[in-house]
Amino acid sequence: MSAPHVFSLEGHTALITGGGSGIGLATAHALAAGGAKVILGGRREKELNDAVAAIGAAASAQVMDVTDTAAMPALAAALREKHGPISILVNNAGINLKKPFVDTAESELLGILQTNVIGAMALTRAVHPQLKESGQGSVVFISSMAALFGIPWVSAYSISKSALTGAVRTLSLEFGADNIRVNAVAPGWIDTAMSRKAFASDPARKEKILSRTPLGVLGDTSDIGWSVAYLCSPAAKFVTGAILPVDGGASIGF
């Protein structure tokens, strides 16, 4: 297989949650560039439609809410009817909360877990038969460097992303016999609207982060998108159960 073909995603259909912006949108662009059909899932219809227009004919939108776990089986069935079997699932949708642990209410912790973990698990379960049917299934969770080492004031988020690490390791064992690979990308500090907003109110924080990042820069959303594309491609056909840090070396430097 030639170098271009080993990274080809021709014949794949991918569902990306949180696909309308940020890392999800960059991932959709990368998968579409590799030849996959991409379904962008999310709650904001206009944002999704704008994203689809930017990607082109390979993309379509699906309004969905991962916290509505009871709706996942019917959603998966409807998507299969419309697009054929999903062979790539990117569990990207997620929310954060910056607050000391002792001030974090149980309802806030449960809210983070419902989106970041429970919703992702429900969707993965619902799509599993299609991943198996495809004969070349791939699940990628978007984790975080917060699952690799301690970061204060984001305990709920860190707990949720650490749970995804456990899911990757367990599901890779359970799904292997079905020729479904399960991996995660753990982004470091990425230049997104959310991070720019945080740094605008605390410029010193950005400088501190960059000083502890060996490459000395923030990542781009496309860095995550291309990493996901690699994990879903034939180039990674022997890769499963992996947590891939994409953080400029931050998880080493911290």
In this predicted model, what pLDDT tens digit does every residue of 139-192 receive, in sequence order?
Answer: 999 999 999 988 899 999 999 999 999 999 999 999 999 999 999 999 999 998
Residue 39: other Cβ atoms inside 10 A: 25
In this predicted model, what pLDDT tens digit does every residue of 54-86 receive, in sequence order?
Answer: 999 999 999 999 999 999 999 999 999 999 999
What is the topology classification, in CATH, of domain 3-188+220-241?
A: Rossmann fold (3.40.50)
Residue numbers annotated as active site: 157
CA-nearest of 72, 104, 88 to 182 is 88
Instruction: Spell 151-176 as b/e; 16+ CB within 10 A means b.
Output: eeebbbbbbbbbbbbebbeebbeebe
In this predicted model, what pLDDT tens digit does every residue of 193-221 receive, in sequence order?
Answer: 878 887 888 889 899 989 999 999 999 99
If 0-12 CB within 10 Å is exposed, 13-18 middle and 19+ buried, where does residue 106 land?
exposed
Token pair 């309802």 is found at 107
Q: Is the pLDDT of residue 253 over 80?
A: no
Single pTM value for the model: 0.95
- Local confidence band at 4 (pLDDT 50, 70, 90 cut-offs): confident
